[in-house]
Chains A and B, each alone.
Chain A
Amino acid sequence: MYAISLQSFSFHPLSSSNPHNKPKKNRPPLFISTNPSHLNVLHLRDLFFSTNLSCHRFPHLDSHGRVEPVDLHKLRTAVLHSSVVVSVFSRGEFCEGEGRDMETSEFGIGELIRRAVPVSESNGRLVGFGRAVSDCGLTASIYDVAVIPSLQGLGIGHMIVKRIIRFLTSGGIYDIAALCSQKERLFFEACGFKEDSLGSTTMMYTQAAPNCVKDDLLVKCSGRMMLLVPPMRKPVVSNEMIPIDEKGF
Protein backbone atom coordinates (compact mmCIF):
# COMPACT_ATOMS: atom_id res chain seq x y z
CA MET A 1 0.00 0.00 0.00
CA TYR A 2 1.12 3.51 -0.53
CA ALA A 3 0.33 4.71 2.97
CA ILE A 4 1.86 3.31 6.09
CA SER A 5 0.57 3.85 9.57
CA LEU A 6 3.29 3.55 12.16
CA GLN A 7 1.64 2.71 15.42
CA SER A 8 4.99 2.07 17.07
CA PHE A 9 4.87 3.60 20.47
CA SER A 10 7.51 1.24 21.73
CA PHE A 11 10.57 1.91 23.82
CA HIS A 12 13.40 0.59 21.68
CA PRO A 13 16.84 1.42 22.91
CA LEU A 14 19.17 3.14 20.48
CA SER A 15 20.09 0.63 17.81
CA SER A 16 23.84 0.24 17.56
CA SER A 17 23.81 -1.10 13.99
CA ASN A 18 22.58 2.13 12.46
CA PRO A 19 24.19 5.22 13.93
CA HIS A 20 21.50 7.40 12.41
CA ASN A 21 18.67 5.80 14.34
CA LYS A 22 17.12 8.31 16.65
CA PRO A 23 15.62 7.06 19.91
CA LYS A 24 12.07 6.16 19.00
CA LYS A 25 10.69 6.23 22.48
CA ASN A 26 9.09 9.63 22.17
CA ARG A 27 7.90 9.31 18.62
CA PRO A 28 4.12 9.48 18.37
CA PRO A 29 2.02 7.35 16.02
CA LEU A 30 2.61 8.60 12.51
CA PHE A 31 0.94 8.19 9.15
CA ILE A 32 3.19 8.77 6.18
CA SER A 33 1.64 9.21 2.76
CA THR A 34 2.85 9.87 -0.77
CA ASN A 35 -0.65 10.66 -1.97
CA PRO A 36 -0.86 14.36 -2.82
CA SER A 37 -4.64 14.39 -2.40
CA HIS A 38 -4.13 13.81 1.33
CA LEU A 39 -2.52 17.19 1.53
CA ASN A 40 -4.35 20.31 2.62
CA VAL A 41 -2.45 23.25 1.18
CA LEU A 42 -3.56 25.61 3.97
CA HIS A 43 -2.14 23.24 6.57
CA LEU A 44 1.04 23.01 4.55
CA ARG A 45 1.35 26.76 4.55
CA ASP A 46 0.89 26.73 8.33
CA LEU A 47 3.55 24.03 8.68
CA PHE A 48 6.00 26.13 6.68
CA PHE A 49 5.17 29.18 8.76
CA SER A 50 5.77 27.30 12.01
CA THR A 51 9.15 26.10 10.76
CA ASN A 52 9.97 29.55 9.36
CA LEU A 53 10.34 28.16 5.86
CA SER A 54 9.83 30.38 2.86
CA CYS A 55 9.84 28.76 -0.53
CA HIS A 56 12.00 31.65 -1.71
CA ARG A 57 15.68 31.02 -1.10
CA PHE A 58 16.25 34.68 -0.29
CA PRO A 59 13.15 35.59 1.66
CA HIS A 60 12.05 38.84 3.22
CA LEU A 61 12.61 38.65 6.94
CA ASP A 62 10.81 40.84 9.45
CA SER A 63 12.49 42.37 12.49
CA HIS A 64 12.17 39.04 14.35
CA GLY A 65 13.70 37.06 11.52
CA ARG A 66 10.33 35.54 10.55
CA VAL A 67 9.34 34.88 6.95
CA GLU A 68 6.10 35.82 5.26
CA PRO A 69 3.50 33.08 4.84
CA VAL A 70 3.86 31.34 1.50
CA ASP A 71 1.60 32.37 -1.39
CA LEU A 72 -1.18 29.77 -1.43
CA HIS A 73 -1.72 29.67 -5.16
CA LYS A 74 1.97 29.25 -5.90
CA LEU A 75 2.25 26.58 -3.22
CA ARG A 76 -0.53 24.60 -4.81
CA THR A 77 1.09 24.95 -8.23
CA ALA A 78 4.42 23.80 -6.82
CA VAL A 79 2.86 20.73 -5.19
CA LEU A 80 0.93 19.87 -8.36
CA HIS A 81 4.16 19.93 -10.36
CA SER A 82 6.22 17.92 -7.91
CA SER A 83 6.94 14.33 -8.87
CA VAL A 84 7.02 13.13 -5.27
CA VAL A 85 5.03 14.56 -2.38
CA VAL A 86 5.47 13.10 1.12
CA SER A 87 3.17 14.13 3.96
CA VAL A 88 3.42 12.96 7.57
CA PHE A 89 0.43 13.10 9.88
CA SER A 90 0.18 12.60 13.60
CA ARG A 91 -2.55 12.76 16.18
CA GLY A 92 -3.23 16.20 17.50
CA GLU A 93 -2.41 15.64 21.15
CA PHE A 94 1.22 14.83 20.44
CA CYS A 95 1.78 18.17 18.87
CA GLU A 96 2.64 21.26 20.84
CA GLY A 97 -0.23 23.56 21.57
CA GLU A 98 -2.83 21.02 20.53
CA GLY A 99 -5.55 19.38 22.58
CA ARG A 100 -5.01 17.79 25.89
CA ASP A 101 -1.91 17.11 27.89
CA MET A 102 -0.65 13.51 27.64
CA GLU A 103 -0.28 13.07 31.37
CA THR A 104 -3.82 13.94 32.35
CA SER A 105 -5.70 12.07 29.60
CA GLU A 106 -8.25 9.60 30.87
CA PHE A 107 -7.91 5.91 30.23
CA GLY A 108 -11.52 5.03 29.89
CA ILE A 109 -12.94 2.88 27.10
CA GLY A 110 -13.47 5.91 24.90
CA GLU A 111 -9.83 6.85 25.19
CA LEU A 112 -8.66 3.28 24.45
CA ILE A 113 -10.82 3.13 21.35
CA ARG A 114 -9.59 6.49 20.22
CA ARG A 115 -6.00 5.40 20.61
CA ALA A 116 -6.67 2.14 18.81
CA VAL A 117 -7.90 3.95 15.70
CA PRO A 118 -4.93 4.40 13.39
CA VAL A 119 -3.83 7.89 12.45
CA SER A 120 -4.88 8.91 8.97
CA GLU A 121 -4.89 12.07 6.96
CA SER A 122 -8.47 12.75 7.97
CA ASN A 123 -8.03 12.45 11.73
CA GLY A 124 -4.40 13.54 11.98
CA ARG A 125 -2.54 16.79 11.78
CA LEU A 126 0.13 17.52 9.20
CA VAL A 127 3.44 17.43 11.04
CA GLY A 128 5.96 16.79 8.29
CA PHE A 129 6.42 17.30 4.59
CA GLY A 130 8.89 16.93 1.77
CA ARG A 131 8.73 17.02 -1.99
CA ALA A 132 10.91 16.46 -5.03
CA VAL A 133 10.80 17.76 -8.58
CA SER A 134 12.05 15.45 -11.31
CA ASP A 135 12.29 15.28 -15.07
CA CYS A 136 11.27 11.62 -14.71
CA GLY A 137 14.30 10.45 -16.61
CA LEU A 138 17.64 11.66 -15.35
CA THR A 139 17.56 14.00 -12.36
CA ALA A 140 15.57 15.09 -9.32
CA SER A 141 15.81 17.86 -6.72
CA ILE A 142 14.44 17.70 -3.20
CA TYR A 143 12.78 20.81 -1.76
CA ASP A 144 10.95 22.06 1.30
CA VAL A 145 11.56 19.28 3.84
CA ALA A 146 9.91 20.42 7.07
CA VAL A 147 8.86 18.94 10.43
CA ILE A 148 7.02 20.89 13.13
CA PRO A 149 9.37 22.17 15.82
CA SER A 150 7.89 20.04 18.64
CA LEU A 151 8.60 16.83 16.74
CA GLN A 152 12.03 17.67 15.37
CA GLY A 153 15.04 15.56 16.26
CA LEU A 154 13.08 12.30 16.21
CA GLY A 155 14.12 11.06 12.79
CA ILE A 156 10.94 12.14 11.02
CA GLY A 157 12.79 14.36 8.55
CA HIS A 158 15.14 11.47 7.79
CA MET A 159 12.13 9.25 7.23
CA ILE A 160 10.68 11.75 4.76
CA VAL A 161 13.91 11.98 2.76
CA LYS A 162 14.31 8.19 2.75
CA ARG A 163 10.80 7.84 1.40
CA ILE A 164 11.43 10.38 -1.35
CA ILE A 165 14.64 8.61 -2.35
CA ARG A 166 12.92 5.24 -2.37
CA PHE A 167 10.20 6.60 -4.63
CA LEU A 168 12.70 8.12 -7.03
CA THR A 169 15.04 5.14 -7.20
CA SER A 170 12.14 2.78 -7.84
CA GLY A 171 11.48 4.90 -10.91
CA GLY A 172 15.09 4.73 -12.04
CA ILE A 173 16.26 8.16 -10.89
CA TYR A 174 19.56 8.05 -9.03
CA ASP A 175 20.84 11.58 -9.61
CA ILE A 176 19.17 13.28 -6.65
CA ALA A 177 20.12 16.76 -5.55
CA ALA A 178 19.15 18.90 -2.58
CA LEU A 179 19.83 22.60 -2.32
CA CYS A 180 20.80 23.39 1.26
CA SER A 181 21.64 26.36 3.38
CA GLN A 182 24.35 26.06 6.05
CA LYS A 183 21.84 24.89 8.63
CA GLU A 184 20.34 22.22 6.40
CA ARG A 185 23.69 20.77 5.39
CA LEU A 186 24.13 18.61 8.49
CA PHE A 187 20.65 17.20 8.08
CA PHE A 188 21.23 16.15 4.49
CA GLU A 189 24.67 14.76 5.32
CA ALA A 190 22.96 12.52 7.84
CA CYS A 191 20.59 11.41 5.08
CA GLY A 192 23.46 10.32 2.87
CA PHE A 193 24.05 13.46 0.81
CA LYS A 194 27.48 14.84 0.02
CA GLU A 195 29.00 17.60 -2.06
CA ASP A 196 29.37 16.67 -5.70
CA SER A 197 32.23 14.22 -6.20
CA LEU A 198 32.78 15.67 -9.67
CA GLY A 199 33.43 19.05 -8.10
CA SER A 200 30.63 21.06 -9.67
CA THR A 201 29.84 24.48 -8.26
CA THR A 202 26.31 25.35 -7.20
CA MET A 203 25.27 28.66 -8.68
CA MET A 204 22.10 30.71 -8.45
CA TYR A 205 20.87 33.60 -10.55
CA THR A 206 21.20 36.69 -8.39
CA GLN A 207 21.70 39.40 -10.99
CA ALA A 208 20.16 42.63 -9.80
CA ALA A 209 19.42 45.68 -11.91
CA PRO A 210 22.36 48.09 -12.26
CA ASN A 211 22.31 51.29 -10.22
CA CYS A 212 21.54 53.49 -13.20
CA VAL A 213 18.28 51.86 -14.18
CA LYS A 214 17.17 52.42 -17.74
CA ASP A 215 13.45 52.63 -18.39
CA ASP A 216 13.25 49.52 -20.48
CA LEU A 217 14.83 47.20 -17.90
CA LEU A 218 12.54 44.68 -16.31
CA VAL A 219 13.05 43.27 -12.83
CA LYS A 220 11.27 40.46 -11.06
CA CYS A 221 10.84 40.15 -7.34
CA SER A 222 11.87 36.88 -5.71
CA GLY A 223 11.73 37.12 -1.94
CA ARG A 224 14.01 40.02 -1.13
CA MET A 225 15.90 39.77 -4.43
CA MET A 226 15.08 42.03 -7.34
CA LEU A 227 16.25 39.95 -10.27
CA LEU A 228 17.07 41.50 -13.60
CA VAL A 229 15.29 39.97 -16.57
CA PRO A 230 17.91 39.67 -19.33
CA PRO A 231 16.91 42.08 -22.09
CA MET A 232 16.07 40.78 -25.54
CA ARG A 233 18.82 41.32 -28.00
CA LYS A 234 18.47 42.18 -31.66
CA PRO A 235 19.30 39.49 -34.19
CA VAL A 236 22.59 39.83 -36.03
CA VAL A 237 22.29 39.95 -39.77
CA SER A 238 25.35 40.05 -41.92
CA ASN A 239 26.17 39.56 -45.54
CA GLU A 240 29.66 38.31 -45.06
CA MET A 241 31.20 35.44 -43.24
CA ILE A 242 32.69 37.50 -40.41
CA PRO A 243 33.14 36.45 -36.80
CA ILE A 244 30.12 37.59 -34.83
CA ASP A 245 30.87 40.21 -32.25
CA GLU A 246 29.69 39.14 -28.78
CA LYS A 247 28.10 42.53 -28.32
CA GLY A 248 25.63 41.56 -30.98
CA PHE A 249 24.10 39.35 -28.38
Chain B
Amino acid sequence: MLPNASLAPSSMRHLHFSACHYKVSDMIFIPSNAYSRLMPAKKRHRVFPLRASFWDSIKSGFLKDNTTQVIEPPLTTLEEEEPLPQEIVLVENTQPDGTNEQIIFSSGGEVDVYELQALCDKVGWPRRPLTKLAAALKNSFMVATLHSTKKSSDTEGDNQKQLIGMARATSDHAFNATIWDVVVDPSYQGQGLGKALVEQLIRALLQRDIGNITLFADSKVVDFYRNLGFEADPEGIKGMFWYPRY
Protein backbone atom coordinates (compact mmCIF):
# COMPACT_ATOMS: atom_id res chain seq x y z
CA MET B 1 0.00 0.00 0.00
CA LEU B 2 1.47 3.32 -0.98
CA PRO B 3 1.95 5.86 1.81
CA ASN B 4 -0.49 8.68 1.25
CA ALA B 5 1.99 11.43 1.78
CA SER B 6 4.38 10.54 -0.99
CA LEU B 7 3.53 10.54 -4.63
CA ALA B 8 5.52 9.13 -7.49
CA PRO B 9 7.75 11.67 -9.24
CA SER B 10 5.52 11.86 -12.30
CA SER B 11 2.74 13.17 -10.06
CA MET B 12 4.88 15.69 -8.27
CA ARG B 13 4.49 18.28 -10.96
CA HIS B 14 0.72 18.07 -10.73
CA LEU B 15 0.75 18.12 -6.96
CA HIS B 16 2.79 21.30 -6.86
CA PHE B 17 0.56 22.98 -9.40
CA SER B 18 -2.58 22.00 -7.58
CA ALA B 19 -1.23 22.92 -4.17
CA CYS B 20 -1.00 26.50 -5.32
CA HIS B 21 -4.75 26.63 -5.65
CA TYR B 22 -6.30 24.24 -3.18
CA LYS B 23 -5.62 21.47 -0.73
CA VAL B 24 -4.69 18.00 -1.96
CA SER B 25 -7.71 16.66 -0.09
CA ASP B 26 -9.98 18.42 -2.60
CA MET B 27 -8.55 16.23 -5.32
CA ILE B 28 -9.13 12.93 -3.58
CA PHE B 29 -12.90 12.87 -3.46
CA ILE B 30 -15.53 13.23 -6.09
CA PRO B 31 -18.08 15.94 -5.22
CA SER B 32 -21.19 14.45 -3.65
CA ASN B 33 -23.47 16.53 -5.85
CA ALA B 34 -22.11 14.56 -8.80
CA TYR B 35 -24.18 11.64 -7.57
CA SER B 36 -27.47 13.48 -7.27
CA ARG B 37 -27.45 13.44 -11.06
CA LEU B 38 -27.19 9.70 -11.29
CA MET B 39 -30.76 8.47 -11.31
CA PRO B 40 -31.23 5.11 -12.96
CA ALA B 41 -34.48 4.98 -14.87
CA LYS B 42 -37.23 2.88 -13.35
CA LYS B 43 -37.03 -0.39 -15.20
CA ARG B 44 -40.71 -0.77 -15.80
CA HIS B 45 -41.22 2.62 -17.31
CA ARG B 46 -39.38 2.32 -20.55
CA VAL B 47 -40.99 5.52 -21.73
CA PHE B 48 -39.12 7.37 -24.40
CA PRO B 49 -38.96 10.82 -22.73
CA LEU B 50 -37.89 9.30 -19.42
CA ARG B 51 -34.99 7.51 -21.00
CA ALA B 52 -33.79 10.70 -22.60
CA SER B 53 -33.91 12.51 -19.29
CA PHE B 54 -32.11 9.65 -17.56
CA TRP B 55 -29.06 10.25 -19.69
CA ASP B 56 -29.51 14.00 -19.40
CA SER B 57 -29.34 13.69 -15.66
CA ILE B 58 -26.22 11.56 -15.81
CA LYS B 59 -24.66 13.86 -18.32
CA SER B 60 -25.47 16.98 -16.37
CA GLY B 61 -23.55 15.49 -13.50
CA PHE B 62 -20.52 15.53 -15.71
CA LEU B 63 -21.45 18.33 -18.05
CA LYS B 64 -18.53 19.85 -19.82
CA ASP B 65 -20.28 23.15 -20.20
CA ASN B 66 -21.71 23.13 -16.73
CA THR B 67 -18.66 22.59 -14.61
CA THR B 68 -19.79 25.01 -11.95
CA GLN B 69 -22.47 22.59 -10.84
CA VAL B 70 -20.22 19.64 -10.30
CA ILE B 71 -16.70 20.80 -9.62
CA GLU B 72 -15.74 23.15 -6.83
CA PRO B 73 -14.76 26.64 -8.00
CA PRO B 74 -10.98 26.25 -7.61
CA LEU B 75 -11.01 23.34 -9.99
CA THR B 76 -12.74 25.16 -12.80
CA THR B 77 -9.62 27.18 -13.34
CA LEU B 78 -7.59 24.00 -13.53
CA GLU B 79 -10.00 21.99 -15.65
CA GLU B 80 -8.67 22.14 -19.14
CA GLU B 81 -10.64 24.16 -21.58
CA GLU B 82 -12.87 22.26 -23.94
CA PRO B 83 -11.46 22.00 -27.45
CA LEU B 84 -12.32 25.43 -28.81
CA PRO B 85 -14.69 25.43 -31.75
CA GLN B 86 -12.59 26.00 -34.78
CA GLU B 87 -13.11 26.34 -38.46
CA ILE B 88 -10.40 25.70 -41.01
CA VAL B 89 -10.68 26.01 -44.75
CA LEU B 90 -9.14 22.83 -46.11
CA VAL B 91 -9.80 23.20 -49.80
CA GLU B 92 -10.83 26.13 -51.87
CA ASN B 93 -11.38 26.13 -55.55
CA THR B 94 -12.89 28.55 -57.96
CA GLN B 95 -14.57 27.38 -61.11
CA PRO B 96 -14.06 29.12 -64.43
CA ASP B 97 -17.64 30.38 -64.19
CA GLY B 98 -16.83 32.14 -60.94
CA THR B 99 -18.51 29.81 -58.45
CA ASN B 100 -16.35 29.31 -55.45
CA GLU B 101 -16.39 26.14 -53.40
CA GLN B 102 -14.81 25.84 -50.00
CA ILE B 103 -14.48 22.73 -47.90
CA ILE B 104 -14.46 23.77 -44.31
CA PHE B 105 -13.39 21.66 -41.38
CA SER B 106 -15.18 22.45 -38.16
CA SER B 107 -15.16 21.07 -34.63
CA GLY B 108 -17.40 21.99 -31.75
CA GLY B 109 -20.14 23.29 -34.01
CA GLU B 110 -23.75 22.16 -34.22
CA VAL B 111 -24.56 19.17 -36.38
CA ASP B 112 -27.99 18.76 -37.91
CA VAL B 113 -28.98 15.16 -37.21
CA TYR B 114 -31.21 15.02 -40.27
CA GLU B 115 -28.31 16.07 -42.50
CA LEU B 116 -26.12 13.52 -40.78
CA GLN B 117 -28.65 10.77 -41.27
CA ALA B 118 -28.88 11.65 -44.98
CA LEU B 119 -25.08 11.43 -45.19
CA CYS B 120 -25.05 8.04 -43.46
CA ASP B 121 -27.74 6.87 -45.90
CA LYS B 122 -25.50 7.88 -48.81
CA VAL B 123 -22.72 5.61 -47.62
CA GLY B 124 -25.13 2.77 -46.96
CA TRP B 125 -25.05 2.63 -43.17
CA PRO B 126 -28.05 1.15 -41.31
CA ARG B 127 -30.33 3.75 -39.80
CA ARG B 128 -30.14 4.58 -36.13
CA PRO B 129 -32.76 6.31 -33.95
CA LEU B 130 -32.36 10.07 -34.32
CA THR B 131 -32.66 10.86 -30.61
CA LYS B 132 -29.91 8.38 -29.80
CA LEU B 133 -27.77 9.88 -32.54
CA ALA B 134 -28.35 13.39 -31.23
CA ALA B 135 -27.50 12.32 -27.67
CA ALA B 136 -24.36 10.54 -28.88
CA LEU B 137 -23.18 13.68 -30.68
CA LYS B 138 -23.92 15.88 -27.69
CA ASN B 139 -21.94 13.66 -25.35
CA SER B 140 -18.96 12.97 -27.57
CA PHE B 141 -15.63 14.46 -26.61
CA MET B 142 -15.30 15.95 -30.07
CA VAL B 143 -17.36 16.01 -33.23
CA ALA B 144 -15.49 17.03 -36.37
CA THR B 145 -17.39 17.94 -39.51
CA LEU B 146 -16.69 18.86 -43.10
CA HIS B 147 -19.01 21.22 -44.90
CA SER B 148 -18.93 22.30 -48.49
CA THR B 149 -20.00 25.88 -49.13
CA LYS B 150 -20.66 26.92 -52.66
CA LYS B 151 -20.89 30.62 -53.44
CA SER B 152 -22.02 31.67 -56.85
CA SER B 153 -20.33 34.62 -58.49
CA ASP B 154 -23.71 36.26 -58.58
CA THR B 155 -23.84 38.22 -55.30
CA GLU B 156 -27.58 37.76 -55.12
CA GLY B 157 -27.26 34.00 -55.04
CA ASP B 158 -27.56 32.02 -51.82
CA ASN B 159 -24.62 30.16 -50.43
CA GLN B 160 -25.17 26.45 -50.42
CA LYS B 161 -23.82 24.73 -47.34
CA GLN B 162 -23.81 20.95 -47.23
CA LEU B 163 -22.52 18.44 -44.72
CA ILE B 164 -20.06 16.17 -46.53
CA GLY B 165 -18.12 14.50 -43.75
CA MET B 166 -18.12 13.73 -40.04
CA ALA B 167 -16.08 11.91 -37.43
CA ARG B 168 -16.45 11.82 -33.67
CA ALA B 169 -14.57 10.59 -30.65
CA THR B 170 -15.73 9.64 -27.17
CA SER B 171 -13.28 9.93 -24.31
CA ASP B 172 -12.83 10.02 -20.57
CA HIS B 173 -10.76 13.19 -21.08
CA ALA B 174 -7.70 11.63 -19.50
CA PHE B 175 -6.55 8.27 -20.82
CA ASN B 176 -8.85 6.61 -23.32
CA ALA B 177 -10.64 7.63 -26.49
CA THR B 178 -12.52 5.78 -29.20
CA ILE B 179 -13.14 7.14 -32.68
CA TRP B 180 -16.55 6.32 -34.14
CA ASP B 181 -18.57 7.03 -37.26
CA VAL B 182 -15.99 8.34 -39.72
CA VAL B 183 -17.98 9.17 -42.86
CA VAL B 184 -17.30 11.16 -46.05
CA ASP B 185 -19.80 11.78 -48.85
CA PRO B 186 -19.02 9.35 -51.70
CA SER B 187 -18.71 12.16 -54.24
CA TYR B 188 -16.01 13.79 -52.12
CA GLN B 189 -14.04 10.66 -51.29
CA GLY B 190 -10.52 10.03 -52.52
CA GLN B 191 -9.32 13.56 -51.81
CA GLY B 192 -7.77 13.01 -48.42
CA LEU B 193 -10.72 14.52 -46.57
CA GLY B 194 -11.30 11.48 -44.37
CA LYS B 195 -7.62 11.51 -43.54
CA ALA B 196 -7.86 15.19 -42.55
CA LEU B 197 -10.84 14.48 -40.29
CA VAL B 198 -9.14 11.67 -38.43
CA GLU B 199 -5.85 13.55 -38.14
CA GLN B 200 -7.63 16.51 -36.57
CA LEU B 201 -9.27 14.22 -34.02
CA ILE B 202 -5.94 12.63 -33.17
CA ARG B 203 -4.29 16.02 -32.85
CA ALA B 204 -6.99 17.26 -30.48
CA LEU B 205 -6.80 14.10 -28.39
CA LEU B 206 -3.01 14.07 -28.11
CA GLN B 207 -3.00 17.73 -27.19
CA ARG B 208 -5.01 16.74 -24.13
CA ASP B 209 -2.56 13.89 -23.42
CA ILE B 210 -5.16 11.27 -24.21
CA GLY B 211 -2.90 8.50 -25.41
CA ASN B 212 -5.07 5.37 -25.83
CA ILE B 213 -6.79 6.13 -29.14
CA THR B 214 -8.81 3.19 -30.39
CA LEU B 215 -11.22 2.45 -33.18
CA PHE B 216 -13.05 -0.58 -34.60
CA ALA B 217 -12.44 -0.70 -38.32
CA ASP B 218 -14.50 -2.50 -40.92
CA SER B 219 -12.35 -4.91 -42.92
CA LYS B 220 -12.56 -2.64 -45.99
CA VAL B 221 -11.00 0.33 -44.26
CA VAL B 222 -8.27 -1.32 -42.20
CA ASP B 223 -5.63 -0.18 -44.70
CA PHE B 224 -6.95 3.37 -44.62
CA TYR B 225 -6.34 3.53 -40.89
CA ARG B 226 -3.06 1.70 -41.13
CA ASN B 227 -1.84 4.50 -43.38
CA LEU B 228 -2.86 6.96 -40.71
CA GLY B 229 -0.69 5.32 -38.07
CA PHE B 230 -3.08 2.81 -36.53
CA GLU B 231 -2.01 -0.72 -35.75
CA ALA B 232 -4.33 -3.74 -35.67
CA ASP B 233 -4.46 -5.66 -32.38
CA PRO B 234 -1.28 -4.09 -30.97
CA GLU B 235 0.38 -6.45 -28.49
CA GLY B 236 -2.66 -8.67 -28.70
CA ILE B 237 -5.09 -6.03 -27.48
CA LYS B 238 -8.54 -6.76 -28.89
CA GLY B 239 -11.93 -5.21 -28.53
CA MET B 240 -14.71 -7.44 -27.32
CA PHE B 241 -18.41 -6.73 -27.39
CA TRP B 242 -21.25 -7.72 -25.12
CA TYR B 243 -23.62 -10.32 -26.52
CA PRO B 244 -26.43 -11.03 -24.07
CA ARG B 245 -27.49 -14.64 -23.63
CA TYR B 246 -31.23 -14.91 -23.32
Interface residues of A, Cβ cutoff 8 Å to B: 2, 34-37, 39-42, 45-46, 49-50, 55-58, 68-69, 71-83, 97, 131, 133-139, 141, 143, 165, 167, 170-172, 174-182, 185, 188-189, 191-207, 220-223, 225, 227-230, 232-233, 235-244, 246, 248-249
10 pairs of A and B residues whose beta carbons are closest in the complex: A222-B211, A207-B229, A137-B135, A137-B136, A249-B192, A78-B174, A202-B239, A193-B240, A136-B55, A230-B199
Closest Cβ of chain B: how far from A59's Cβ, in Å? Answer: 10
CB pair B242–A248 under 8 Å, yes or no, is no
Tell me how far the C-beta of A223 lies from the nearest C-beta in chain B, rounded to whole angstroms.
7
Interface residues on B, range: 35 or more
- Bound state CA distance, A240 and B94, in angstroms? 6
B14–chain A nearest beta-carbon distance, Å: 4
Q: Which of B31-39, B145-153, B155-163 contacts A (4 or more CB under 8 A)?
A: B31-39
State the main secondary structure of chain B at its contact with A: mixed
Residues of A within 8 A of B70 (CB): 80
Establish whether residues B232 and A202, one from each chain, have CB atoms under 8 Å apart when the complex forms.
Answer: yes
A83 neighbours in B (Cβ, 8 Å): 58, 62
Check A205–B202 contact: CB distance below 8 A.
yes
Q: Name the residue on A nearest B48 (C-beta).
A: A172
- Which of B91, B140, B170 touches A141 (beta carbons < 8 Å)? B170
Determine if A196 and B216 form an interchain contact, defined as CB atoms under 8 angstroms apart. Answer: yes
B206 x A220 contact (CB < 8 A): yes
Name the residue of chain B whose CB is nearest to the CB of A74.
Answer: B174
**By the criterion CB–CB under 8 Å, are A189 and B173 in contact?**
no
Q: Is the CB of B29 within 8 A of A37?
A: yes
Q: C-beta contact mask, B227-240 vs A, less than 8 Å → 1, else 0?
A: 01111111111111
Residue of B nearest to A195 (CB): B240
Binary interface profile of B, 165-198, with partner A (CB < 8 Å = 1, else 0)?
0001011111110101000000000011101100
Residues of A within 8 A of B226 (CB): 203
8 contacts between A and B (CB under 8 A): A37-B31, A69-B8, A72-B14, A76-B27, A81-B173, A137-B138, A185-B240, A230-B199
Q: With a CB–CB cut-off of 8 A, which chain A residues contact B94?
A: 238-240
How close is B71's CB to chain A, nearest CB, in angstroms? 7
Tell me whether A97 and B211 are in contact in the complex, defined as CB-CB below 8 angstroms, given that A137-B133, A176-B241, A229-B202 are known contacts: no
Interface centre among A45, A172, A221 (most CB of B within 10 A): A172
Q: Does B139 contact A (CB under 8 A)?
A: yes
Q: A185-B240, A206-B230, A229-B202 known; A201 and B222 CB under 8 Å? A: yes
* In the complex, B20 has a CB within 8 A of chain A: no
| A73 contact from B27, B40, B41, B96, Cβ within 8 A | B27
| A248 CA / B103 CA spacing, docked (Å) | 13
Taking a contact as CB atoms under 8 Å apart, the answer to whether B237 and A235 are in contact is no
Q: Apart from A68-B10, A235-B90, what 4 extra A-B contacts exist at CB < 8 Å?
A: A81-B62, A137-B135, A177-B216, A188-B240
Residues of B within 8 A of A189 (CB): 240
Q: Give A42's nearest chain B residue, CB to CB.
A: B28
The answer to whether A72 and B243 touch (CB under 8 A), given A78-B175, A135-B136, A220-B209, is no
**Contact A192:B243 (CB < 8 A) given known A37-B34, A55-B175, A137-B139:** yes
In the bound assembly, the distance between CA atoms of A36 and B89 in angstroms comes to 42
**CA distance in complex: A206, B55 (Å):** 33
Q: Which residues of A contact B193 (CB under 8 A)?
A: 249
